[in-house]
Amino acid sequence: MNAQPFASTFAACWQDLGLAAPPWTAAAPGGAGTLAVRSPIDGEVFGQLPVCSPADADARIARAHAAQSLWALTPAPARGELVRRLGEALRTHKAALGRLVSMEAGKILQEGLGEVQEMIDICDFAVGLSRQLHGLTIASERPSHAMRETWHPYGLCGVISAFNFPVAVWAWNAALALVCGNGVVWKPSEKTPLCALAVQGLLDRVIADHAPQFAGLACVLTGGRQLGQALVQHPSVRLVSATGSTRMGREVGMACAAHFKRTILELGGNNAAIVAPSADLELTIRAMTFAAAGTAGQRCTTLRRAFVHADRIETVAQRLRQVYARLPVGDPLQDGTLVGPLIDAAAGDAMANALASCRAQGNVVHGGERLLADRFPRACYVRPALVLTDTQHDTMLTETFAPILYLMPYTSLDEAIALNNAASHGLSSCIFTESLREAERFLSAAGSDCGIANVNIGTSGAEIGGAFGGEKATGGGRESGSDAWKGYMRRATNTVNYGDTLPLAQGIRFDV
């Protein structure tokens, strides 16, 4: 597929969304102030977008900050109504936006549609939440005193998102931030700018139609690393939610700490599964395959390590090899495809280097070869790989954002839990077992040290109702459901004296 037909396909998607054409520029590829747009499906550049200049970024952030000061005073249920209308717009345009996600991020169409459904779900969640931003009533030790806890908008929120979930992660943050009374400034991945512009276009239309006084409340800044740095350092941005690599998160965290800004960091994940002797293998193999090979291994929750009981590892390895050998790899827009391309050649190189390191250490590698190079010479399609190893070496403990699944035997549950927890990341984990005792031990304080710990399901595919995030090098942030909304608000403790005396706490006497 050459660039011109792909540009036409994107244009048709844009038309289905009812949006004005993207702000294409005629500048030469690689020119100053431009951002090349390509699809990982064929790897070809089919357009150039202008990069948001520092002056434009300042103006957009200033406008969002001004709108936020009024938005914060709007009753929360009224804020929820705007998010409800955004959810309706997403429902209307789910098919077109899901297709756009697949074209620009390379994930199969089912996953593209699923990502938009996740946006719709978090909007529904946030609408209900808008009537439940409640605090506490606290008993006071002093007579004729009342104590309570209240929550208030935190301030302008910056969102830095990654290519692998180009719209859902923004929605996790934006839907909550908006109902909590904040404005949102979005810096999307430079690899998926069109998805961001499309979503922002839908939100802009909702605001223009139903709340025009809040124009500019949310905005998008397209560009590279320097624009992200400017967003993080901008004095009007009080909270930064960043999704990406641990390296990036460390830089964001340090920059925000210098100005005492709040952060929500959702970073890498070297996620593991334990396959116990009692595991239901039919369920286990299916769950492991989706978790390890889905999205071409490019989820932060992708299954990368599997510790299989020594009595079952030969059977599990054989079954996985059989399944992997017949996984349909190809154009993600085609029916039947289950594994699309890696995002770019650099991702393919990282995968090849990791597998070469494994072979050098004596590991047995199945799969991992390049596919469809004749049809898509500039794209990067690969067969998902299995690596059989007896030790958890440095390569295995390093997150490679590609479909590599390491299989390693264990003999005791304590050993398997220790292997799970040995990774520097602490995002997602799971155990496959029919033993209640094993399951509960894995979920206990003596078990997995990850933010997500599952039983008899894989590491990926989280629902929006639970708080999403992990520990250690994953960053410690929480997004989406449960009480993650508290991250977008500031807490105040209030004490009211409704009597006519002034008793002091702790029985202190201070007579004047």
Catalytic residues: 266
Task: Name beta bridge partners: 262.
Answer: 239
H-assigned helices in 93-163: 94-105, 109-129
CA distance linking residue 472 with residue 226, whole number of Å: 26
CA dihedral of residues 444, 447, 451, 453 (deg, nearest 10) = -80
Total Cβ atoms within 10 A of residue 218: 29
Nearest to 405 by CA among 453, 447, 368: 368
C-alpha neighbours within 13 Å on the C-beta side of residue 149: 11
Contact between 268 and 274 under an 8 Å Cβ cutoff? The reply is no
Q: 433-439 contacts: CB < 8 A, separation 24 or more?
A: 433/274, 433/276, 433/278, 433/279, 434/276, 434/278, 434/279, 434/280, 435/276, 435/278, 438/276, 438/278, 438/413
- How far apart CA 270 and CA 402 sit, in angstroms, is 11
Residue 39 φ then ψ, to 5°: -105, 135
**Cα distance between residue 17 and residue 198, in whole Å:** 8
- CB atoms closer than 10 angstroms to residue 213: 10
Separation between Cα atoms, residue 119 and residue 50, nearest integer Å: 27
Neighbours of 257 (CB within 10 A): 10
**Other residues' Cβ atoms within 10 Å of the Cβ of residue 419:** 18
294 residue type, one letter: G
361-386 burial: b if 16+ Cβ within 10 Å, else e: eebebbbbeebbeeebeebbbbbbbb
Interatomic CA distance for residues 409 and 315, integer angstroms: 12
Question: Is the CB of residue 201 less than 8 Å from the CB of residue 189?
Answer: no
